[in-house]
Each structure stands twice: as structure tokens, then as C-alpha cells.
Amino acid sequence: MAKKKSTGLAAAVCVLLVLVIAVFILVKKDTIITNLKETNFFGRVFGKTPEFVENHESKKDKNDVIEDEEITIKVETVEKPEPVAQPKPKDDKKEQKTEAKPENKETKPQPKPEEKKETKKDAGKKEEPKKTTTTVTYSDVQLCFIEIDADGSLNRKIVKRSVPKNDSPLTNAINLLLAGPDTSKAGEKNCVSLIPPGSKLLSAKVSNGVAYLSFNEAFEMNPDGVEGSIGQLMQIVYTATSYSTVNSVQFLIEGQKKTFLGSEGQRIDAPLSRSSF
């Protein structure tokens, strides 16, 4: 009995193993077939690989499938050269007509214009640049100076000068008076001026017959005392009133009206005329 049981158990185990192997083969069928194909098992054993049919359809071997390869074809485009315009055939007849015939005559060089040579006479006769002449109008001015007589006495003397005209005749006349007499002239040889040296006219204006003349401080400092102060005022008044528009002179020092001139007490707070001397 023991032997029968062991024999039956062994048979059951064998059957179970066969079932397990069968189930495994069914489950791993595809994998097993693929491995057999890859290893070429049937070709090695039987000499030829059998074809397997799955799902009643013919199945191609994966190795028989040709994969599409990408083929890149480079097409080089060659630019055709632009057609060159061929020159038209020249008409020989026209060329013969239009063709210039060579001249046999040699062209003579034209003579250059002769340059005039300067002679010594011409050198002396060169044209001088034209000078523009401007006409200057002169006018007479009357200047009052002091003349010294033979006995030493001082007298008033009116001298005339011809000077170019300008827009400020009174200012011009007073400035000429301040410059002193011109001893090179015959009429002014014995003349002197009692106006202090360094005196300058600062401004001049005429209004209603009165000439407002402003001098610098040097006009006050007369070294000849009272006679010198009276003489300098007289010279200015007679020179200024020689113009028809001036009747009297108002003296100003640095633009300011003063009562007395210097330290000698000559009154200059009111206009002075020729009748004041």
C-alpha cells in the first residue's frame, strides 16, 4: 500500500509540473517564440526556421521589415548666366560712309599771343592806383587870446582860424582855445592864454542862448591870481559868444554849479556875457 501511495503521489506531482510548464508556455508563448527566432534556435536544430501563424494571419518576421531610411538629396541650382546682348552686325556700307577719313594735312600749332614786353619807358608809365578825392569844407572860428603889448599891458585879441567843419563847432572851438595860440602863425605870435594848463572841457550844451560848459578841477587853479582868473573867463565867453546861438556862458566844475571860481572869489553862479568884462 505504501508503494502505491508513493507512486500515485509521484504521478500527481509529474502531472502538476506538466500543467505548470504548459501554463507557463502558454503565458510566455510570445516571448519564447521571439527568443527562439532571435537566437535562430530552429535553424540550428532543424536547419530551417519554421513559420509561425498567429491569429490565423501570416506574420512577417520583424527582420524582414525594411525601415524607411531618410535620404537627403541636395539639389544645387545653377544660375544661368544672363544672355549677353550680342552687338548687332554693323553695316559695312554705313561704316564706310560715316568713317572719318584721315587727313593728310598736318595741323599746325596756333601761335600763342605775344606777350608785350615791358620797356623802361613803360615801367615808368605804370598806372597808379586811382585816388579817391574827398572834398573837405572849412569854416572860420574866432578864438580869444591875450596879446602882450610892448609896454607889458595885456589886451584881448580875437584871432581867426580856418578849420574843417564838424557836427560840434562850439566844442571844437573851445578845445582849440584850450590848446593855446599857434605861434607859427603871424597873427598869433605875441598871443598868450591865461587858461590854467591841464584844463579840459568835459561837456558842452546850448539851451535858450546859454552855453553850459563843464570843466575839470584844473580849470579852477589859476597861477596868475585875480587878473588870470578874469582873463580865462573872458577868453571862454568871447570865444563861445562868437556863435549866433550863444549869448552867455554858465560855467560848471565837474558838472556842478559853483558860486566862486577858485580862491580868488570870481562869481560864476550865474551866466556870464561879454558885458560882464
Entry pTM: 0.53
Banded pLDDT at 154 (limits 50, 70, 90): confident
208-241 per-position pLDDT tens digit: 999 999 999 999 999 888 889 999 999 999 999 9
DSSP state of 276: G
77-99 per-position pLDDT tens digit: 445 555 555 655 555 544 444 44
Banded pLDDT at 119 (limits 50, 70, 90): low
Please give the backbone phi and psi of residue 213, each rounded to the nearest 5 degrees, phi first: -115, 125
The average pLDDT across 177-195 equals 92
Burial of 162 (0-12, 13-18, 19+ CB in 10 A): exposed
The average pLDDT across 27-40 equals 70
Residue 74 neighbours by CB distance under 10 Å? 4
Measure CA 233 to chain center: 60
Q: Is the pLDDT of residue 150 over 50?
A: yes
